[in-house]
Amino acid sequence: KAGVTQTPRYLIKTRGQQVTLSCSPISGHRSVSWYQQTPGQGLQFLFEYFSETQRNKGNFPGRFSGRQFSNSRSEMNVSTLELGDSALYLCASGYQQGYEQYFGPGTRLTVT
């Protein structure tokens, strides 16, 4: 089985811009979660989607949003980028909520 894929792998944006990151889960997986990983804060949960519905949300401002499509692929969007949004964004998929999660390689976002 192919693993979780994330595109793009690297991204450089300017403050104030917006960005969209994409995640393709493992075939058959319906749950997709997003995390932000930074040296200072570690892994922080952003949101979780299951069957196109957001089931859980972390403590991030409304500038962070996401969605899941009928094929379980997911996107997350960050608007009005700030320098502090520079991070590795990880996506993880699972067969169902609460099941083992498989992580993608991440998208490295740098905001200048």
Partner 1 sequence: AQRVTQPEKLLSVFKGAPVELKCNYSYSGSPELFWYVQYSRQRLQLLLRHISRESIKGFTADLNKGETSFHLKKPFAQEEDSAMYYCALKGTGFQKLVFGTGTRLLVSP
Among 104, 107, 109, 111, binds partner 1 (CB under 8 A): 104
Neighbour tally for 78: CB within 10 Å: 25
Please report whether residue 3 would count as binding partner 1 according to CB under 8 A: yes
Residues in 39-98 at the binding interface with partner 1, rule: CB under 8 A: 41-45, 48, 50, 55-56, 58, 90, 92, 97-98
Q: Can you tell me whether residue 98 is helix, strand or coil?
A: coil
- Taking the C-alpha atoms of residue 95 and residue 61, their distance in angstroms, rounded to an integer, is 28
Q: State which H helix or E strand residue 88 sits in.
A: strand 87-94
Q: Which of 68, 72, 93, 101 binds partner 1 (CB under 8 A)?
A: 101
Minimum gap (Å) between residue 40 Cβ and partner 1: 9
CA dihedral 51, 58, 90, 36 (to 10 degrees): 160
Contacts to partner 1 by CB under 8 A: 3, 33, 35, 41-45, 48, 50, 55-56, 58, 90, 92, 97-98, 100-106
